[in-house]
Structure 1
Amino acid sequence: MTGHVFVVPGDIRRFACDAYLHATDRDLRAGGGWTTSAPDAPNRLDPHLLDAYKTENRFTLPLLDRAEHPNEPATILTAVPYYGVTHPREFVPRLQEFFRVGTDIARRRGVTAVLSQRERPLLAVPLFGTAGGGADYVRGDVFRLVYEQSLEAANEHGIDVAIVLSNPRDYALAQMIRRESGDAWPELAPDEQAAARRLGQLATQARLVPFMGAGISIASGAPSWDGLITRLADAVGLDPEVVAELKKHDTLDQAAYVQIAFERRAADTAFGKAVADAVNVQRYGIAPPLLAALDAEQAITLNYDRLFEWAALDGKRPRRVIPGEPGEEVRWLLKLHGSVDKPESIVLTRDDYLGFNSDRAALSSLVKATLMTRHLLFVGFGVRDPHFHEIVHDVRRAMPAGRQKLGTVLTFDEDPIKHGLWHNDLDFVQLSTARMLEMFLDAVLAYGATSHSYLLAHGYASALAEEDRTVSNALKSMIASVPESARSGTAWAAVSTMLDDLGWRTGEASPSPRPLPEGLR
């Protein structure tokens, strides 16, 4: 029952998991960052554990559960060394206690009942002790330690661990370390490893574009199609016998019938709002932040929720939503079937699909252009959407014979008919479970990460490989050798831009409590 260790960019407080670590000190000072570790954190301290925590007879203090949110991830306050950090290994007993306590909480709740809806517990850890905890000067070494301890915990407890990193330089270093380790994905078969490398290579060229379906939202706690129809039918008061009969019909007709029921028994706008409320989950799982880390300018989704937008924002790669208000972001996300913040835009019924081309032809054109110029990675999408078939039909007619494949589909089912129908257009990577898909994506993103933004940055030198440290030292010597008088010309402007991309002149802002993410306040 060996577990897996993921590396995910994002905000740990918005991550769908069983338990997460929030680093603080034993004093729990008023106004400290721990107060924003979870909703209403100051009023959720366990009085039975507080004295032991404040005297460091224990290092962890799980916040009390909120009765109205039984599936909320457990927040486990974990104390950094009180008198400062002399070596990262001082974190070891604290991390070990977190993993032990977090695993106990997850198993006591029951794995199938928690928000993450995974086959084994998922615990999340940040880069422990680097945001005011005294270890900022050895960030690279701290990552190596957290990774080592996470691997040990995954093996010992049979859990999965996500190291959630809010700093893009930490993320870049982490992916370099895992690539060079050579054994970060032992669960993947050789052909799966090869496919991950191939897709990762496309990602390094900014050519790999995510196309996301409902599967990635279900893994984050959103309802399946069957669950959505059941919830909508219950909301409008349909008899169970009617619902059972309804589910024998085509999915688009199911939605249309429920919509008619809403129009008869409630306001016209109630159906769109009920759909939006049902799918408006607040925490992203593993797939959205990994896909949001891709360098491609484009991204496309059929989902109504905002998980991908939030993951992109938390990972410091914000995206403009199309259709939506104009923005300065270079990257964009096309929400092909509407959004929860605009219930009237949601495409769900047969009439919605039939009216799509007349209402949103420009959106279809964006998808066609992306199919013709990039390689799409289909995740959580069964290639059955009727509108998608129309788009591909037009692309086939416009593209020459012998062209490259339009994309790669990550799938769970072995369907020779579907594969035969699409073999000229799409590659298929068949994975056995949702968890295997997450591990595959984890590998793709590691192979596709190209940033070296940590090379000259503060706190990473001691964690560099010997050859990289040699390059870093040489560049620092070069910078020191250039006199101020030579730094006003155009040549230095070009060189300094490159150096900034490698981490030069990138000081860390002083840590301060961050407001809770949207939807979790």
Structure 2
Amino acid sequence: MLHEWVTSNLWCRAAQDARAPPRGGTAVMVERAGPDDGAVTGHVFVVRSSVEGIVCDDLVVSTDGRGPAGVRRSWWTALGWASEADRSAARPEDARGRWTRLASSTGVEPGRWLLAVGSRQSAGPSWVADGVREVLEAIASQSAEHLTPGRPRRVAVPVFGVDGGGLDGQRGEVVEKLLEACEDAAQLHGLDVVIVARAASDYSALQSLRRRAPGRGLAKHLQEDARRLGDLALRGQLALFMGAGTGVAAGLPLWSGLLARLAEGVRIPGGAEALGRMNPLDAAEVLRRAFGKASGETRSLGERVADVISTPPRFALSHALLAALDVGNAITTNFDDLYERAVESATGARPRVLLPKGEQPEGDWRQWLLKLHGDASEPDTIVLDRRSFVRYDAEQRPLAAVLQATLLTRHLFVVGASMNDDNVIRLVHEVAVLKEKRGGKAELGTVVTLQDDPLSADLWAPELRYLAVGGAAPAEETDDERTARMVGAARELDVFLDRVAQHAARGTATLLDPRYSALIRDDDERTTAHKLAQLRSWVEKWATSGQHADDWRDVLDALDSAGGSSADSQAASAAPLKTWSLCHATCTDAGSGVPGRPDRGRPWSP
């Protein structure tokens, strides 16, 4: 089977570059050859997650006019506060206008910023957006010495003002103004801004707005592939296969780093350098045997691997973007739980995890994750050394069958994994031959890579389609040039995944939720949406008290699955007529409406 830590040199080097200390200061704006317009500056990402969960350089949360004293408890975790004492001990390092920068408590956490949005009762969405512009401009002016060389500064911001700020009934205008402010900052200051939406309805509305605007930052063929993969996800026909490349941005060790850490304190002829020259499975086997010979050593290889992996405090942006695809089936060779945490942050529930020695009891069966090589939380399930792999094929063949069944029934989207393992080649080709004999299409999936690799593309065609987000390597380049190129390619992958997630998101919350009525420009469309919201409130009534409550509940679930979470819909439908009437009276008609996006049915994915 695939070995997670045997990733391509491209992924490994990109990860090393991302964690390497800066070689002097770097400009905030990153300028390099772009796909279409000659330069790439900042980008706005949208995820459904939590601000405290994502790896970033800076984060912003809301407060009122009292600074740290006005921060709501829901933001304490993002700021590293566990108690009232922590909040009382927080000290501003700088404060101007409506923003405050908190002093660092450890020196390693993201820059922590506060934005006052809740102190003016008469303040509207534009006032909130003006504050966002102010704080992003201030962040862009900070020193870049600690940043990852080669990519823009990354800032995580929530949807401001819709909870304590009192603008819940104007969510449509809030998300529209917020998106405009973040896009302005991305272009003017070269920032990568990550808008983190907690509510499914906010996420849906943001993605609907983004689909109306022309795409930026990707070559035309990548935009087409992003739409293709997003449409597959929306129809429930996409499955994920994730390798080590998805975890390195969160600080997980590379294969060489894992070997070196495992070899600490154990006598190995030639040391870690000699291990690095061996086949990875053989190197792990050498370590397993060395541990068995060491006096007083009682921990297994799996337990040592679990110690090295530990639990990174934050998942990478790529995890949040992949979680946003909302696929029912996912497969990984990783030992960590970063993807599971990203899914939980987005949906409120982790996927059910399948392991070589059985399934974990917790998790939502509507989404499952097959961990082919085990989980760090259960060290005895970890498959790493040569002996384990030999036994794996004999004892865990049903797990290989799960991968093949996924290839037969879904389009496999491969991210962060090298495709050079003989077992995987055999499994893929077996499925391809079966489909060809039955007259089916040979293409089974898409592999996204950081660098153009024509040989690998030819090797895997037509079973797997290779898609490179970066160009081919030049004949000659310095280490620094390669560093900049690979870090840039890794960021291009994030931009590509963001575009895939944009097309995979449903935008129907704009129609079902009266709080977003300002986004509907056409009067006739707005009236129809009003009736749709009315319909949901009637269905909800009969689902709780009607003679056929169970049947009505199915209808209600269908409406909620199209327009956001049940909680979002319930909050929106509490007083739909009053809210819609208010919005209809205050929203101005902008002329002809933007053409609607046809609804695409999504089969349930087991």
Q: TM-score range by the shorter chain?
A: 0.7 to 0.9
Match of 2:104 in 1: 65
Q: Deviations over 1:192-213 (max 9, x none)?
A: 1111111122112110111100
Query: SS at 2:221's partner residue?
Result: helix
Quick check: 467-476 or 134-143, which moved more? 467-476
Match of 1:18 in 2: 57
Taking a change above 3 Å as real, the CA distance of residues 198 and 415 of structure 1, as seen in their structure-2 partners, is same
Aligned length: 496
Cα distance, 1:424 vs. partner? 2.3
Q: Does 1:333 align with 2:369?
A: yes
Taking a change above 3 Å as real, the CA distance of residues 236 and 397 of structure 1, as seen in their structure-2 partners, is farther
Match of 2:258 in 1: 228
Contact residue 81 and residue 90 of structure 1 kept, 8 A: no
Taking a change above 3 Å as real, the CA distance of residues 423 and 268 of structure 1, as seen in their structure-2 partners, is farther
- Residue identity matched to 1:194: E
Contact residue 46 and residue 62 of structure 1 kept, 8 A: no
Match of 1:474 in 2: 531
Q: Does 1:111 align with 2:143?
A: no
Matches within 5 A, 1:496-507: 496-501=556-561, 502=563, 505-507=569-571
Taking a change above 3 Å as real, the CA distance of residues 100 and 30 of structure 1, as seen in their structure-2 partners, is closer
Cα distance, 1:429 vs. partner? 0.7
Taking a change above 3 Å as real, the CA distance of residues 135 and 343 of structure 1, as seen in their structure-2 partners, is same
- Aligned match for 1:263, one of 284, 287, 292: 292
Q: Does 1:206 align with 2:236?
A: yes
Q: Does 1:450 align with 2:510?
A: no
Contact residue 335 and residue 376 of structure 2 kept, 8 A: yes
Contact residue 14 and residue 284 of structure 1 kept, 8 A: yes
Matches within 5 A, 1:383-398: 383-398=419-434
Contact residue 320 and residue 342 of structure 2 kept, 8 A: yes
Matches within 5 A, 1:376-387: 376-387=412-423
Match of 2:116 in 1: 79
Mapped partners of 2:440, 2:79: distance in 1: 51
- Residue identity matched to 1:17: C
Q: Deviations over 1:259-305 (max 9, x none)?
A: 33333336242532332233332311121122122243211111111
Match of 2:319 in 1: 288
- Residue identity matched to 2:404: K
- Aligned match for 1:420, one of 458, 482, 485: 458
Quick check: 1-10 or 346-355, which moved more? 346-355
Mapped partners of 2:464, 2:133: distance in 1: 45
Taking a change above 3 Å as real, the CA distance of residues 109 and 100 of structure 1, as seen in their structure-2 partners, is farther
- Residue identity matched to 1:471: T
Cα distance, 1:14 vs. partner? 1.0
Mapped partners of 1:369, 1:242: distance in 2: 42
Match of 1:513 in 2: none
Contact residue 20 and residue 102 of structure 1 kept, 8 A: no
- Residue identity matched to 2:546: S
Mapped partners of 1:377, 1:362: distance in 2: 21
Mapped partners of 2:465, 2:519: distance in 1: 38
Mapped partners of 2:333, 2:538: distance in 1: 53
Quick check: 299-308 or 75-84, which moved more? 75-84
- Residue identity matched to 1:236: G
Q: Does 1:90 align with 2:133?
A: no
Q: Does 1:156 align with 2:188?
A: yes
Cα distance, 1:147 vs. partner? 1.1
Q: Percent identity?
A: 33
Contact residue 377 and residue 409 of structure 1 kept, 8 A: yes
Q: Deviations over 1:209-243 (max 9, x none)?
A: 1110000101222122222222323x335589522
Taking a change above 3 Å as real, the CA distance of residues 71 and 30 of structure 1, as seen in their structure-2 partners, is closer
Taking a change above 3 Å as real, the CA distance of residues 421 and 35 of structure 1, as seen in their structure-2 partners, is closer
Mapped partners of 1:237, 1:481: distance in 2: 69
Cα distance, 1:126 vs. partner? 0.6
Match of 1:300 in 2: 331
Match of 1:374 in 2: 410
Mapped partners of 2:556, 2:254: distance in 1: 50
Query: SS at 2:232's partner residue?
Result: helix
- Aligned match for 2:137, one of 95, 100, 116: 100
Mapped partners of 1:370, 1:478: distance in 2: 38
Mapped partners of 1:482, 1:439: distance in 2: 39
Query: SS at 2:509's partner residue?
Result: coil
Contact residue 266 and residue 291 of structure 2 kept, 8 A: no
Contact residue 510 and residue 519 of structure 2 kept, 8 A: no
Mapped partners of 1:257, 1:365: distance in 2: 30
Mapped partners of 2:135, 2:535: distance in 1: 44
- Residue identity matched to 2:528: V
Cα distance, 1:108 vs. partner? 4.2
Taking a change above 3 Å as real, the CA distance of residues 350 and 105 of structure 1, as seen in their structure-2 partners, is farther
Q: Deviations over 1:369-392 (max 9, x none)?
A: 001111000000111234323422
Quick check: 353-362 or 395-404, which moved more? 395-404
Taking a change above 3 Å as real, the CA distance of residues 420 and 40 of structure 1, as seen in their structure-2 partners, is same
Q: Deviations over 1:467-500 (max 9, x none)?
A: 6423212324667899989983658666545444
Which runs of no fewer than 5 residues in structure 1 stay unpaired? 113-117, 510-521
Taking a change above 3 Å as real, the CA distance of residues 414 and 488 of structure 1, as seen in their structure-2 partners, is same
Mapped partners of 1:479, 1:388: distance in 2: 47
Match of 1:254 in 2: 283
Query: SS at 1:355's partner residue?
Result: helix
Matches within 5 A, 1:401-440: 401=437, 403-404=440-441, 405-432=443-470, 433-440=489-496
Mapped partners of 2:421, 2:505: distance in 1: 31
Match of 2:249 in 1: 219
Match of 1:488 in 2: 546
Contact residue 500 and residue 506 of structure 1 kept, 8 A: no
Match of 1:515 in 2: none
Quick check: 480-489 or 194-203, which moved more? 480-489
Quick check: 195-204 or 494-503, which moved more? 494-503
Cα distance, 1:446 vs. partner? 1.0
Taking a change above 3 Å as real, the CA distance of residues 94 and 495 of structure 1, as seen in their structure-2 partners, is same
- Aligned match for 1:43, one of 56, 80, 86: 86
Quick check: 193-202 or 315-324, which moved more? 315-324
Cα distance, 1:139 vs. partner? 1.4
- Aligned match for 1:243, one of 262, 266, 272: 272
Taking a change above 3 Å as real, the CA distance of residues 482 and 63 of structure 1, as seen in their structure-2 partners, is closer
- Residue identity matched to 1:382: S
Query: SS at 1:75's partner residue?
Result: strand
TM-score, scaled relative to structure 1: 0.86
Mapped partners of 2:445, 2:495: distance in 1: 19
